[in-house]
Amino acid sequence: MRARLSSVRAHRHRVPLLRPFVTAARRTDSVEYVVAEVVLTGEDADGRPVRVTGQGSAAETAAVTGETAQSIERLLMTALRPALEGRTGDLRTFSRLIAATGTGGTSAKAALEVALHDAWGQAAGIPLAELLGGRADGAMPNDMTVSLESPETMAAHARAAFDSGTRILKIKLGSSPEADRRRLGAVVEAVPEVRLRLDANQGWSVEEACRSLAAFAADGLPVDLVEQPVAAADTAGLARVRAESAVPIMADESVWSPDDARRLVDAQAADLFNIKLAKTGGIAAALEIADVAQEAGLKCMMGAMMEPRISITAAAHLAFAHPAVTTIDLDSPAWFAEDVPDGGFAEERGMLRLCGGPGLGLRRLPPEDSAA
């Protein structure tokens, strides 16, 4: 379908988190995010007029993407809006126009590109996962993140997540190997039944990573994968860790674009990619990374920053749309003191399902003063 992008708007929101989110790179108590709203007009296949509103979102993640809510809103309204508003085309055309709007600002671009995908799905009357060629009726096990805290606090958070039905925990590590081993020991003692994903967020040297992973393996810890053990730019280091590790290595901060994915494949530096829309700048590039993975025989996880439900719903649709995406790490809405709007996806006993409905399947967020 070809359609006209009639308007682009942005609203800012700040939401406290229910508990601090702590990684090797940052500590966060609240999240400010931007909702991008687009109005699309056109005609459906039968020539009937269509007018739909789509939404996407982007959260401040200065420690990772360098973007604040202010910079996201500014890019949306002063660069992306003038470049796209009033233009007519198909969805692919708009994705290309967004990607061509300079480098950086990937969160802002993702918010707008997701809003357009939501609108296109609504115009077609089908869930986004189906618009992307997948099915919207499956279920995937989700995980719950345990922040980088004291061993006792991490054990308590792990137990609480287990009691609420989660069977996969993502454990934030990345300090000294000895301290990380104590944290992991406390978690495993508290919840011996869970599977673990470890995320060092670039916190280890190559030597520390190799030493830690060998120790974890020797102790028989239930670790399914290790995310970004070393610095994002250290492709050779990542490849060395992967060569020595008995556990699959996932690239996160090292993979932002399809070119990054190809470089990591060529260097044999990763077994898995963590795809986040806030890094790729939207769905088109995310799918391209998944294609690169599939061709190389790698698998992907759909992850996200500490982002609101709109962003997470988009990531979930993509997870159900591409065969190379076999795992998800989409727990951030459960951290938000105010998790709006309704719909999109539902989670029960650790299993995530899409709610159905066209596009993202969300209810619209009531407009708010953009200065709020």
Q: Which residues bind Mg ion (CB under 5 A)?
A: 199, 227, 252
The number of beta carbons lying within 10 Å of the beta carbon of residue 120 is 24
Residue 265 CB, nearest approach to Mg ion (Å): 19
- Structural tokens at position 157: 């958070």
Residue 57 CB, nearest approach to Mg ion (Å): 19
Residue 79 CB, nearest approach to Mg ion (Å): 28
Residue 60 CB, nearest approach to Mg ion (Å): 17
Catalytically annotated residue among 170, 172, 279, 299: 172
Q: Which residues pair with 302 in a beta bridge?
A: 275, 328
Q: Which residues contact 363 (CB under 8 A, 6 or more apart)?
A: 341, 342, 343
Complex with Mg ion: residue 122 or 202, whichever CB lies closer: 202
Complex with Mg ion: residue 143 or 227, whichever CB lies closer: 227
What are the strands of the beta sheet with 345-348, ordered from one edge?
Answer: 139-141, 351-354, 345-348
Catalytically annotated residue among 109, 170, 276, 279: 276
Residue at 96: amino acid letter:
R
Please confirm, yes or no, whether 172 is among the known catalytic residues: yes
Question: What is the number of the residue whose Cβ is closest to Mg ion?
Answer: 252
- Three-point CA angle 106, 110, 114, nearest 5°: 175
The number of beta carbons lying within 10 Å of the beta carbon of residue 47 is 6
DSSP state of 62: T
Q: Which residues pair with 250 in a beta bridge?
A: 227, 272
Complex with Mg ion: residue 52 or 255, whichever CB lies closer: 255
Please confirm, yes or no, whether 109 is among the known catalytic residues: no
- What phi, psi does 48 have (nearest 5°)? -80, 145
Complex with Mg ion: residue 63 or 351, whichever CB lies closer: 63
Which residues are catalytic, by number? 172, 276
